[in-house]
Structure 1
């Protein structure tokens, strides 16, 4: 909610004279005012004006004040605005209902001007203090997220710096992962797992898929030719090393987090294959974590179109054909279908993030 220089008080009462009386008592607080004379009108205007405080009458024709507040509490945009009931309804059960609906105060008519001013002033000050705290939390959260993103990027690049020909690999694969995920959701696949929050985690975690390469010897990682059987067996260990690195981070954090759990799945499972012939565990089909299956598509496609010390790059078209040939063997068939739908987007991402 954007904060005004002067707080806005929204008054809801079906009697215009009552609105004028309340405004006259409160003008000394240096506030701005808006009003409505029925509940339906109030709901529409409150969503537009976004006041700092609402004064709500209860007895109104049509939708009552209680019913109006129930509707306000169902709208996430305005549900946190503090509400003071200002009404002639003084029965104990009415007061209880007012507080049960989330009212911050309950003032009965007739009231004294000094009482109204004091209570409104207190709640405006509380609202301003809460807003200040929320802003501080928001800024701290943004700073923490930014720091986390920078650390993730740096950790991902630790592995990439070991292989100077893959400088933009982490940037491209992150975008491939995101594109593939939203396409799967659009097509109605894995919607229970691929929530907006989880897709954001996947995108953030993708740069850590090869973090385990920091433990692989340069003589293997940078070898300008085919690896021997023994060398390839050591190279394959980067998946397990990656899991260990992230597991150590979880231990340092004191407990598992959704982000680190996702990153660990990506690091450990992105070389598994749909038919069970992959590594490090030889998982097959849906036993392979979805994060690993998605990362496999991104990682293999990018490896195919990129030059390495041991191979030349191939064209986008040839790479896509290899991916299609791997459907049901190397890759989850549903993911290959999604790739075919967005393969022009993959090409655009690759062109925009060349090494």
Structure 2
């Protein structure tokens, strides 16, 4: 619809008297454009603002009304403009053809002025109603989009919170989550580029994997404090308790899935990570002792990311390793602890991993310094 003033109507007729009659009849309620032939009508129909309605004669030289209507409906710029034929022809087949071409009405001359005004007013009202509906739908779509974004942010915040709680034994849990997310994502993207696990590693899968990684240790929420917060290495009994955290994590995520009442890619990956990230390629991991490709791809990716971060971040009971040393140790574990093909990819993108991790740690250090200064 026209965005200002009265609705705009394009009148098309090759007879000046007909144009004068329609112009006089419509000018009080509508703004008017006039075309004396079909070619000029097509030009004026595209001129901004576009007409809200076209009153179109049928019998015109060079380009008749039927052909004008056909071209209007083929043009994306003018296809939505309603067309009313106003013709001296009373033949039923002409009226049928006009409606088949997309016209909304067919008025035979001579027509009573009151009837012409009524038919035009009805079509204008219908256009206005459609415009309001489209606007309402657009507002609703924007509202739904905003709510969806808001829910996604709430989901991300909840996931991060649970991940931080699960990593509560480490003072830099947020940094650990970011590092493992980036390493796993870099590995998965490179594998995707190489066509490895082509059917699995879709963009949707990678996005879900990235979001789910903070939940890989969610089972630690079920461990006793004396194990979770112990300074130094765990004794045999404590380690036995620690080995229960994959099962506890699986049970937590299964409870969420049961609450939702339906499966979801996000939850499937979360279950794989929580339950299988401590498995080893050679079958000596836990809790199931899975071997090689029995281990879910997500858990194999997580194992490498978690191991790299564990080797290169400072802990009070472990020796800090450089990036190069960590990559060598990952290579040594290929085929025993880790998927050898994934380790090969990790070595291939070693520089990218080092750069990403350095960036995260630098940002974390700056954030901690700012917080300390503010305090």
Q: What's the TM-score once normalised by structure 2's chain length?
A: 0.69
User: CA 1:251–1:23 in structure 2 vs 1: closer, same or farther (change >3 Å)?
Assistant: same
1:173-252 → structure 2 map (5 Å cutoff):
173-252=180-259
The question of 1:342 aligning with 2:349 is answered: yes
Deviation string for 1:179-214 (max 9, x for gaps)?
111111111111211111111000000011111112
CA-based RMSD of the aligned residues comes to 3.6
Tell me, yes or no, if structure 1 residue 59 matches structure 2 residue 66: no
| 1:17 corresponds to | 41
The 2-side partners of 1:329 and 1:201 are apart by: 28
What secondary structure sits across from 2:104 in the alignment? Answer: strand
Whether the aligned pair in 2 keeps the contact of 1:175 and 1:349 (CA below 8 Å) is yes
2:275 to 268, 285, 294: 268
Which residue does the alignment assign to 2:145?
Answer: 138
Report how far residue 115 of structure 1 moved: 4.5
Please say if residues 178 and 199 of structure 1, whose CA atoms lie closer than 8 Å, have aligned partners that are also in contact: yes
Q: Deviation per CA, 1:38-62, whole angstroms, max 9, x where unpaired?
A: xxxxxxxxxxxxxxxxxxx7734xx
Relative to structure 1, is the Cα distance of residues 84 and 302 closer, same or farther in structure 2, using a 3 angstrom cutoff?
A: farther
Q: Unpaired runs of 5+ in structure 2?
A: 11-37, 54-67, 86-93, 108-115, 365-375
- Distance change (3 Å), C-alpha of 1:124 and 1:136: same
Residue in structure 2 matching 1:300, options 304, 307, 322: 307
Shift of 1:91: 5.0
Q: How far apart in 2 are the matches of 1:179 and 1:242?
A: 25
- Note if contact 1:205-1:259 (Cα within 8 Å) is conserved in structure 2: yes
The 1:279/1:25 distance shift into structure 2, 3 A limit, reads closer
In 1, distance between residues paired with 2:234 and 2:265? 36
Structure 1: 4+ residue segments shifted above 6 A: 21-26, 87-90
Match among 100, 104, 107 for residue 107 of structure 1: 104
Alpha-carbon contact 1:84-1:107 (below 8 Å) kept = no
Q: Could you list the per-position Cα deviations for residues 99-157 of structure 1 after superposition, in whole angstroms to 9, with x for gaps in the alignment?
A: xxxxxx86256696434423322221111011011001001001100100100010000
Shift of 1:218: 3.3
Q: In structure 1, what is the Cα distance between the partners aligned to 2:350 and 2:218?
A: 27
Q: Is the 8 A contact 2:311 2:320 kept in 1?
A: yes
CA distance in 2, matches of 1:260, 1:131: 32
Partner Cα distance (2:225, 2:80) in 1: 65
Larger Rg: 2
Tell me if the contact between 2:281 and 2:339 (Cα under 8 Å) persists in the aligned partners.
Answer: yes
SS at 1:161's partner residue?
A: coil
- Counterpart of 2:155 in structure 1 is 148
CA distance 1:232–1:21, change in 2 (3 Å): closer
User: 2:356 matched to 1:332?
Assistant: no
Distance of aligned partners of 1:118 and 1:268 in 2 relative to their CA distance in 1, 3 Å threshold: same
